[in-house]
Amino acid sequence: MTSLAVLGVGRIGGETAFVASALGIVDELILADSYEPLLRAQVLDLSHTPLDIPITTDRSRISEADICLFAAGSPRNPSIKTRADLFDANLPVAEICSKYLKGFTGSLICVTNPMDIFCYYFAEMLEIPREHCIGFGGQLDSRRFEIAVRERGIRGPAWVLGEHGEHQVPLFSHLDTPVPEAEREEILTGLRRSSMDVIQGKGGTAFGPALHIAELIRLLTGEKKETITCALSLRGEYGFSDCAMGVPAEVSRAGAKVIEGWPLDAWEEKHLNNAGEFVQSLCRRLDVRS
């Protein structure tokens, strides 16, 4: 039996609850949202499906869940330029949600933006082992990168490290074809606005994040191991500490373990250093030190 708690059942939280249930990855849902009409509607909508899955809105059960998804707070919209701009709006939400997670011993997946910062926040505030406090974004960014290079006839493993935002770092050196710096910058510019194209067209992302998150939950509850990119708190890996950002990780039932020493070329190292310095600057704004 695998229980999934979802803090924030809006577009991504609600969609993930449905997808994970429909795929048979979870056996119980614990749903929470500050907006009661939405919460009631999501519970009703799920109950009207053919899925025979227990659903509760008892917030005292959140800390007992095997997996918890932090998806609460204000989403990005066309008026918000970057994900990092949501820091001040969503920090109070994270502080409220941390109260429901006291004593939590499962795996926490952070989705709310700026995701890297809240991944670090919960790991420090709740003393969750970093293998079990995981920031979602790298899978989605890597998929967008794969699509971008495939459209140019370029093949090979498509990985994205760094911040889930303006400071994402696509790894061109892992592709099968060399990509000149000017073309790299052009592709990177497109990746930075790829989510905004969805947001402007339909109000927000849903399908892509939900299925990737469901697959992450499957890895955390299943038997196989898989390498993905996700945000984890760093302790010197890739030159950074006291922050979380996207790195390669082996994910399994044991959690997400940082894979050290992935080869990076000079362009990638420069961009990853910029990403690390940026997320560190935001993490310093958090009051998480005892």
For the stretch 238-280, pLDDT in tens is 999 999 999 999 999 999 999 999 999 999 999 999 999 999 9
Residue 214: other Cβ atoms inside 10 A: 21
User: Considering the entire predicted model, what is its pTM?
Assistant: 0.96
- How many residues are listed for the chain in this entry? 290
Instruction: Report CA-CA distances (Å) from 255 to 25, 170, 179, 194, 216.
Output: 16, 24, 34, 29, 10
Could you give the CA distance from residue 144 to residue 63 in angstroms, rounded to a whole number?
A: 33
Strands (E), the chain: 3-7, 28-32, 55-56, 67-70, 107-110, 133-135, 160-162, 168-170, 226-235, 241-252, 255-258
Angle at 22 between CA 17 and CA 28, to 5 degrees: 55
Report yes or no: 137 and 145 within 8 Å, Cβ to Cβ: no
* pLDDT value of residue 289: 62
- What SS3 state is found at 194? helix
Could you give the CA distance from residue 230 to residue 240 in angstroms, rounded to a whole number?
A: 15
Report yes or no: 4 and 20 within 8 Å, Cβ to Cβ: yes
32: left (phi over 0), alpha (psi -120 to 50) or beta: beta
Nearest to 59 by CA among 90, 110, 97, 25: 97
Residue numbers in the chain where pLDDT is lower than 50 = 290
| For the chain, counts of helices (H) and of strands (E) | 9, 11
- What SS3 state is found at 144? helix
Tokens representing residue 263 in the block: 């080869």
Residue 70 CB partners (closer than 8 Å, separation 6+): 7, 8, 94, 97, 108, 109, 110, 111, 112, 118, 122
* pLDDT value of residue 68: 98
Could you give the CA distance from residue 210 to residue 232 in angstroms, rounded to a whole number?
A: 20
